[in-house]
Amino acid sequence: MKITIIGAGSPYTPELVQKLAEEQGAMPVGELCLMDIDEKRLEIMHGFCRRYGKRLGLRAEITATTDRERALDGADFVNTQIRVGGNKARARDERIAISLGLVGQETTGAGGFMKGMRTIPVMLGIAHEMERRCPDAWMINYTNPTGLVTEAVNKYSKAKMVGLCSGGFHARWVTSKALGVEAGRVRYDLFGLNHLSFAHNITVDGRSLTDEEFEKVAEAAGSPGKDIVMMIRAVPIGYLDWYFHTEKKMAELKAAPLTRGEQVLALEDELYAAFADPACDSRPAVLDKRGGGGYADVAISAMKAIWLDEETWLPANVPNRGTVPFLPDDAVIETMCWADAGGFRPVAVPGKPPHLESVRGLVCAVKNYEQLAVEAAVTGNREKALLALMAHPLVGDYDVAKEVLGKMGGIVCLPC
């Protein structure tokens, strides 16, 4: 098996190396190919991963290249974790949004829009290259905003692709902690979109939670707060704070001396210095400050399910195809799926959960924005980009939307 990681200079790569070492009995990787356009970071990460892999007993050959074609040739799986423009672009997005009184977050609202416009054309380039170089390979995507990226690749390429996010397991981890049960015993239905999903019908060993148990889960869920979780009878992913506590979150953003992107930028020198140390052959402690863990668990589970044709229950971003009746069939949703060699099949949710009617309008509005944004990124149509921003619940205002596009300048709507 050949696994390629595009964007391998990322701090997420060591987590994949660790999980591949743990699963190499079932996942016989011959080559793990690291590809990145940043030569310095690639060299640092290649050296670290070779040392780390050796310490973990990983038998795969770990190679590195800046040549995307070479990286894709013969690949069975292509893990994509790119950040177009790096964290400098992310920090710029955040500051632009905050200066206009908008949410500055890399996957939500104006910040997510700006990142999507830069990212979708590049991701489609990778997908089209896969069509030529490794047409049977699966793209395992973690690049944000993963909902928009997954929809673009599924609509405008023939590459086999699934969008992943560890957030889909948030309710499993919360329930496990709140009730003191093993995470594997927890199941639920998942409704919504990436970073806008709701876990409901939570069970342990197939048994529905009692009211008392659900209250414990709601208490442990954190954002957007116990009262909201109890009202909608579902556990949302933490990003719902941006919609349910917008004014509070905006006040926090404006008061903070640094945005999240600026915080990450400040960490980078320390982080890569640790990776570059020839004596470092284990996960550096500074990596805990970076955040974003948990991806490898989902990514390796997905690849293992496909490789072994072993039916596996996991959260994924996939085309709707009737799963949510009030959304278009080609719309990408985030839901629980059964994965195996045939791909990813959404778990059918019987009926309409009445307690989720309160968030149905929000999901529809954000999906409308997402579909307009994907079309804008693919066609390079500035008017479509303006319509997308006007459709987003966290932007909406026409004059502000025009300012967003104006401040973005040349990075908006690059045709593929």
What is the set of active-site residues?
A: 239
Q: How far apart are CA 19 and CA 37, in angstroms?
A: 24
CA–CA distances in Å: residue 305 to residues 119, 225, 322, 343 = 28, 35, 23, 9
Q: How far apart are CA 93 and CA 80, in angstroms?
A: 21
Contact 334, 168 (CB under 8 A): yes
Nearest 5 degrees, angle CA 199-CA 204-CA 206? Answer: 95
CA–CA distances in Å: residue 351 to residues 161, 171, 296, 356, 357 = 28, 21, 33, 12, 12
> 């307690």: which residue's tokens?
355
What end-to-end distance do the CA atoms of the chain give, in Å? 31
Q: How far apart are CA 42 and CA 45, in angstroms?
A: 5
The number of helices, as runs of H, and strands, as runs of E, in the chain is 16, 13
Q: Report phi then psi at 140, rounded to 5.
A: -105, 105
Look at residues 209, 279, 340 and name the one whose alpha carbon lies nearest to residue 48. Answer: 279
Q: How far apart are CA 363 and CA 102, in angstroms?
A: 19
Nearest 5 degrees, angle CA 319-CA 335-CA 226? Answer: 145
Look at residues 161, 158, 111 and name the one whose alpha carbon lies nearest to residue 138. Answer: 161
The one-letter amino acid code at 252 reads E
Q: How far apart are CA 300 and CA 32, in angstroms?
A: 13
Do β-strands 61-65 and 207-208 pair in parallel, antiparallel, or remain unpaired?
unpaired
The helix, strand and coil proportions of the chain, stated in percent and rounded to the nearest 5, come to: 55, 15, 30
Q: How far apart are CA 366 and CA 372, in angstroms?
A: 10
Q: How far apart are CA 406 and CA 9, in angstroms?
A: 31
